[in-house]
């Protein structure tokens, strides 16, 4: 599918809804504007948990999805139930044209972008490197690496003081696989997430004087649907004994770290990669 489509128009915040504060809060035409967070892959798992955590902290949320419109609608409805505005944006972040269309659509409805969570990602079936074809590798890096670059680039254009913005924060989703290599499973995924780690460090230094903080969260074994998409629905339970805490983590536990990095509580934190791995 091409372009980005808004399925929900934002509803006004109800009287008494908490207002946004922080470096990205601004006023336009004497009207206070709330801060907007874009979450890619926000319709499920860590993305959905982050949307709810962020809304509870006063963020308006744009939920990006690729295929599951119904799930994205449910997340947006839950955000609105917390008194915040919500938008639903369809775009495959592995396609640059769709990323551009998504940001243009967001500009028309929620112009004060203050945060980006690069959560969209894909994994594939367990395989050795010598069994991976070009199509698999191209998709793996298009979504996990290029999509992260493209979304961060567009966010910087809107948030950086160099471009007339008022600052903001970016959180990229990495993986413990970047440290472990994932041999015999998905070295391609691990390599892609390793690229995200390096990108986080470089971009953070590049925009450090422009009001934009860039960090990453590196989840370990987390109970989400991504394991099923890789053909191993029970992987989290099977891997739990390898974790020092002897259990898999939850999407909400990762979301807590993400929302902290987005917040003013992390105002002096940039270029960091935070492990949420239960000690693994």
Q: What CATH number does residue 218 fall under?
A: 3.40.50.720
- pLDDT of 1 strictly over 60: no
Between 159 and 280, where is the model more confident? 159
**3 state DSSP class of 176:** coil
Question: Region 183-202: what's the mean pLDDT?
Answer: 97
Cβ–Cβ under 8 Å, residues 93 and 68: no
- pLDDT of 2 strictly over 70: no
State the pLDDT at residue 96: 98
Kindly report, residue by residue over 39-69, the tens digit of the pLDDT.
999 999 999 999 999 999 999 999 999 999 9
Between 69-81 and 45-56, two packed helices, what is the crossing angle to 10 degrees?
A: 20
The mean of the pLDDT values for the chain is: 88
State the pLDDT at residue 73: 98
**19, part of any domain:** no
User: CA nearest 259: which of 55, 112, 77?
Assistant: 55
Question: Region 90-94: what's the mean pLDDT?
Answer: 98
State the pLDDT at residue 129: 98
- pLDDT of 19 strictly over 50: no
* C-alpha to C-alpha distance for 144 and 138, rounded to whole angstroms: 10
pTM: 0.87
Kindly report, residue by residue over 103-151, the tens digit of the pLDDT.
999 999 986 999 999 999 999 999 999 999 999 999 999 999 999 999 9
pLDDT band at 14 (very low <50, low <70, confident <90, very high): very low
Question: Region 162-175: what's the mean pLDDT?
Answer: 97
**12, part of any domain:** no
pLDDT band at 257 (very low <50, low <70, confident <90, very high): very high
* Geometric angle at alpha carbon 251, from 249 and 255, rounded to 5°: 115
**162, part of any domain:** yes
pLDDT band at 176 (very low <50, low <70, confident <90, very high): very high
State the pLDDT at residue 3: 47
Catalytic residue ranges: 189
**129, part of any domain:** yes
**242, part of any domain:** yes
Cβ–Cβ under 8 Å, residues 151 and 142: no
- pLDDT of 216 strictly over 90: yes
The token duo for 221 is 């074994």
What percentage of the chain reaches a pLDDT higher than 90? 76
**22, part of any domain:** no
* C-alpha to C-alpha distance for 254 and 258, rounded to whole angstroms: 6
* C-alpha to C-alpha distance for 109 and 103, rounded to whole angstroms: 10
State the pLDDT at residue 228: 52
Number of domains in the chain: 1
Between 96-109 and 147-159, two packed helices, what is the crossing angle to 10 degrees?
A: 30
**96, part of any domain:** yes
Question: Region 143-164: what's the mean pLDDT?
Answer: 98
- pLDDT of 185 strictly over 70: yes
What is the residue range of 165's domain? 31-276
**205, part of any domain:** yes
Cβ–Cβ under 8 Å, residues 112 and 34: yes
pLDDT band at 231 (very low <50, low <70, confident <90, very high): low
State the pLDDT at residue 229: 57
């Amino acid at each position: 599918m091409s372009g980005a489509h808004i399925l929900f128009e934002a509803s006004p915040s109800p009287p008494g809804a908490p207002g946004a504060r922080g470096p990205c809060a601004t006023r336009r035409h004497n009207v206070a504007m709330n801060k907007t967070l874009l979450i890619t892959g926000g319709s499920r798992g860590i993305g959905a948990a982050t949307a709810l955590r962020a809304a509870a902290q006063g963020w308006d949320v744009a939920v990006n999805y690729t295929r599951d419109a119904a799930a994205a609608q449910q997340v947006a409805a839950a955000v609105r139930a917390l008194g915040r505005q919500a938008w639903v944006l369809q775009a495959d972040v592995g396609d640059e044209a769709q990323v551009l269309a998504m940001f243009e659509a967001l500009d028309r409805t929620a112009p004060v972008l203050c945060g980006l969570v690069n959560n969209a990602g894909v994994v594939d079936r367990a395989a050795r490197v010598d069994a991976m074809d070009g199509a698999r590798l191209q998709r793996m890096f298009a979504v996990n690496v290029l999509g992260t670059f493209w979304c961060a680039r567009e966010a910087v254009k809107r948030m950086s003081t160099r471009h007339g913005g008022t600052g903001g924060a970016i959180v990229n989703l990495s993986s413990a696989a970047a440290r472990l290599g994932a041999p015999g499973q998905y070295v391609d995924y691990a390599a892609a997430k390793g690229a995200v780690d390096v990108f986080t460090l470089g971009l953070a230094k590049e925009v450090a004087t422009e009001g934009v903080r860039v960090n990453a969260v590196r989840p370990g074994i987390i109970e989400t649907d991504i394991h099923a998409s890789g053909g191993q629905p029970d992987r989290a339970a099977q891997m739990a004994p390898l974790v020092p805490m002897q259990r898999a983590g939850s999407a909400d536990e990762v979301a807590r770290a993400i929302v902290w990095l987005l917040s003013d509580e992390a105002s002096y934190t940039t270029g960091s990669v935070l492990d949420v791995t239960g000690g693994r």
